[in-house]
């Protein structure tokens, strides 16, 4: 049986603060999937806690953690950024085994909706003691998806977060996440837009160099909005080709978030850029 020692969940959080603050200024239109591409966050002995804000409303929705004293384990709470208390009845796709809870390791394309087995409030272990416990599903050191059921107001929304968990349970890397802005509407693990064929984030390439942002493989009509780390829109416009260069000479040197919106499908992606 697992021996769980008490831990101080007020330990220093790993935050992607500037990035999160920047995208707070981006309004989410209804009927779309909002995909957020963050710089990878590693949760380990150096950074033992990380909170992610799925709907970028300024409040952490899920809390990741790592314990690197024996037995090592990495875990996730459907919780607020600073405590282990359930936040707005958030939940994860997972299951119980021998009285403990484990997030399910979803494959790309697996549906996330109200038919999934879920749990809330409890801590879910990705990998406990190098998968010595059979409930652990994140054992191969490869990317996997966790399904999310979370509240915005009184409405339930579905989303996913992509993680990579070390096979020895020493760390978890948070890579990106997305959710469906339509209450109650399903999303597939790894899905980034409502119409992936028309707006594939894997095809779009963003290159920032010498105060220019070059965009490649765009939909024919794409609007863009560049946000500062304080959430202020500093540059916006509309592209008219699949290749486009945003001239940002007037923008101060620093870190920004570029939001791209396919005006045909209303799909949105966001990328961090350094100018």
In tens, the pLDDT along 90-120 reads 899 999 988 889 999 999 989 999 888 888 8
What is the structure's pLDDT at 29?
Answer: 37
Cα dihedral: 233, 238, 243, 245 (round 10): -50
What DSSP element (H or E) covers 127? Answer: strand 124-128
What is the structure's pLDDT at 266?
Answer: 67
Who contacts 253 (Cβ-Cβ below 8 Å, separation ≥6)?
275
Asked if the model's pLDDT at residue 48 lies above 80, the reply is yes
Helices (H) and strands (E) in the chain, counts: 1, 21
Nearest Cα neighbor of 148 from 157, 138, 137 is 157
Q: Which of 78-92, 113-127, 141-155, 200-214 has the highest mean pLDDT?
A: 141-155
Nearest Cα neighbor of 191 from 183, 199, 93 is 199
What is the structure's pLDDT at 12?
Answer: 32
Asked if the model's pLDDT at residue 211 lies above 60, the reply is yes
Domains of the chain: 13-188 (no CATH), 205-274 (2.60.40.1220)
Sheet architecture: strand order including 205-209: 205-209, 212-216, 244-247
Percent of the chain with pLDDT over 90: 33
Asked if the model's pLDDT at residue 89 lies above 80, the reply is no
**Of 25-39, 49-63, 141-155, 209-223, minimum mean pLDDT range:** 25-39
Asked if the model's pLDDT at residue 235 lies above 60, the reply is yes
Q: Which of 70-74, 102-106, 129-133 has the highest mean pLDDT?
A: 102-106
């Amino acid at each position: 049986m697992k021996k769980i020692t008490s831990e101080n969940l007020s330990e220093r959080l790993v935050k992607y603060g500037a990035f999160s603050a920047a995208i707070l200024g981006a309004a989410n239109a209804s009927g779309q999937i909002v995909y957020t591409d963050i710089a990878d966050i590693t949760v380990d002995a150096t950074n033992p806690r990380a909170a992610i804000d799925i709907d970028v409303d300024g409040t952490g929705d899920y809390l990741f953690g790592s314990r690197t004293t024996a037995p090592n384990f990495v875990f996730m709470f459907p919780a607020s950024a600073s405590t282990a208390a359930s936040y707005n009845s958030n939940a994860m796709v997972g299951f119980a085994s021998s009285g403990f809870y484990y997030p399910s390791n979803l494959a790309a394309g697996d549906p996330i909706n109200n038919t999934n087995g879920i749990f809330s409030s409890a801590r879910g272990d990705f990998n406990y003691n190098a998968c010595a416990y059979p409930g652990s599903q994140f054992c191969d050191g490869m990317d996997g998806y966790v399904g999310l059921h979370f509240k915005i107001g009184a409405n339930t929304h579905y989303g996913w977060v992509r993680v990579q968990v070390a096979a020895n349970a020493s760390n978890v890397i948070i890579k990106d996440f997305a959710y469906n802005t339509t209450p109650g509407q399903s999303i597939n693990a790894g899905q980034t837009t409502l119409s992936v064929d028309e707006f594939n984030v894997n095809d779009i390439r963003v290159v920032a160099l010498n105060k220019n942002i070059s965009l490649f493989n765009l939909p024919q009509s794409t609007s863009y909005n560049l946000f500062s780390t304080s959430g202020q829109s500093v540059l916006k416009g509309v592209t008219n080709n699949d290749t486009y260069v945003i001239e940002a000479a007037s923008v101060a040197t620093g870190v920004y978030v570029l939001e791209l919106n396919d005006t045909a499908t209303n799909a949105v992606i966001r990328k961090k850029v350094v100018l």
